[in-house]
Amino acid sequence: MTPAETLRIALIGCGRISKSHFDAIRKVDGLSLAAVCDIDAERAGRAGKEQGVPAYRSLDEMLRAGETESPFDIVAVCTPSGLHSAHGAAAAHAGKHVVTEKPMAISLAQADDLVHACDDAGVQLFVVKQNRLNPPVQLLKRAVDKGRFGRIYMANVTVRWQRPQEYYDAEPWRGTWEFDGGAIMNQASHYVDLIQWLVGPVESVLAKTATQARRIEAEDSGVGLVKFRSGALGVIEVNVLTYPRNLEGSITVLGEKGSVKIGGTAVNRVEHWLFADYDDDDKLIEAANTNPPNVYGYGHEGYYRNVLAVLRGEAKPETDGRAGRKSLELILGLYESAKSGCEVPIPLPGVR
């Protein structure tokens, strides 16, 4: 495509996260929304009317329309997690690039099917990991890459959020093993991604999970111990029972020459930043802090800018299918450890 061409996006799944996509697409010159669809006709119609685009009841219907009356180049998949792979693969088979919400799938077999479908169709697969693009997280990544910590000793991610029973009751798929998973797979997916992206690769995990207060199949609380191949240790702490509202979404990295905590409710604020040696990035701390209106932050806009740049041949993907698979494998390792009571090696045995 040429820099002057506009890429058109069709979105499937007009639920909770779709607004972040609509807002981001609207803000990026070179992108436009072409269509929406949802199995809930009322929800699809409402989104279509608000966005000024055609609304459809199924992906097949939207893909057929895309060949004639409402053409598009990309399908954004915002459906329940257990459907991401099937919907993404269908879009790929139709020759569309795929942008999928996290997690890209709820099993490695599903993830691999999606990666292979996109490879075979010659289309790009983008897995949304917008928290990587938060300005404080970008500063932390640069500090890691520059070696400012020296040897990293410890890292931890903490997700202390509130999801009331009404949240789960509003959508029958939430909290189910078939379509969603629990707090680690859903709410903490981005945080598990951050710890392996910044400090990984991971050697093994040991975890405990519990369903303490919500009437769901999967867990509402979980803790994990992580051993990295570098020798560093990590802790993952997740719960959706925090009273009375979201308290914290953070990552902390401790090393021989530096200590950093990125906190706030969604890794949006530098709470501690101290290194033995000065770097000009130290002057950027205050400017990096943000105050997003919700836990999704502002990263979707940056992610879509990367999508556009990649498809114009100007950049590499921030997170493609194979990168998305890494954090999914870590999540599944945590679940396997919680189920078996044993330490689980990463990569998971028997899946390569």
pLDDT digits over 208-232, tens only?
999 999 999 999 999 999 999 999 9
**pLDDT tens-place string over residues 28-81:** 999 999 999 999 999 999 999 999 999 999 999 999 999 988 899 999 999 999
Model confidence at 350: pLDDT above 80: no
State the CATH number of the domain containing residue 21. Answer: 3.40.50.720
Shared domain for 123 and 161, answered yes or no, is: no
Q: Is it the case that residue 351 has pLDDT exceeding 80?
A: no
- Do 189 and 217 have their domain in common? yes
Number of Cβ atoms within 10 Å of the Cβ of 312? 14
Whether residue 335 sits in one domain with residue 197: yes
Residue 1 lies in a domain: no
The pLDDT of residue 211: 98
Is the same domain home to 203 and 335? yes
State what percent of residues in the chain have pLDDT above 90. 93
Give the CATH number of the domain where residue 228 resides.
3.30.360.10
User: If we measure between CA atoms, which residue out of 177, 165, 158 comes closest to residue 238?
Assistant: 158
87 within domain boundaries: yes
Give yes or no for a contact between 129 and 189, defined as CB atoms under 8 angstroms apart.
Answer: no
227 with 164, same domain? yes
pLDDT tens digits for 299-315?
A: 899 999 999 999 999 99
Q: For the full predicted model, state whether its pTM sits above 0.85.
A: yes
Q: Are residues 79 and 141 in the same domain?
A: no
Position 290 scores a pLDDT of 81
Range of the domain at 231: 131-270+328-345
**95 & 148 share domain:** no
Task: Write down the pLDDT at residue 78.
Answer: 98
Mean pLDDT of all residues in 88-93: 98
Any long-range contacts for 171-174 (C-beta under 8 Å, 24+ apart)?
171/15, 171/80, 173/80, 173/82, 174/80, 174/216
Nearest to 349 by CA among 167, 260, 155, 336: 336
**Do 137 and 263 sit in the same domain of this protein?**
yes
Using the predicted structure, report yes or no on whether residue 2 has a pLDDT greater than 60: no
Do 138 and 49 reside in the same domain of the chain? no
Residue 294 forms part of a structural domain: no
Mark whether 214 and 340 lie in a shared domain: yes
Q: What is the DSSP letter of 289?
A: -
pLDDT at 70: 81
209 assigned to some structural domain: yes
Helices (runs of H) and strands (runs of E) counted in the chain = 11, 14
Specify if 276 maps to a domain. no
Task: Indicate if the alpha-carbon torsion angle 326, 190, 171, 207 is positive or negative.
Answer: positive
What is the chain's mean pLDDT, rounded? 95
Quick one: average pLDDT of 8-19?
97
Residue 352 in this model has a pLDDT that exceeds 60: no
Whether residue 279 is contained in a domain is answered as no
Q: Is residue 162 assigned to a domain?
A: yes
Judge whether 2 lies within some domain. Answer: no
**Number of compact structural domains in the chain:** 2
Same domain membership, residue 219 and residue 164:
yes
115 shares its domain with 94: yes
Residue 4 pLDDT exceeds 80:
no
pLDDT band at 3 (very low <50, low <70, confident <90, very high): low
C-beta pairs of 274-279 under 8 Å, 24+ apart in sequence: 275/143, 275/148, 275/149, 276/150, 277/148, 279/143, 279/146, 279/148
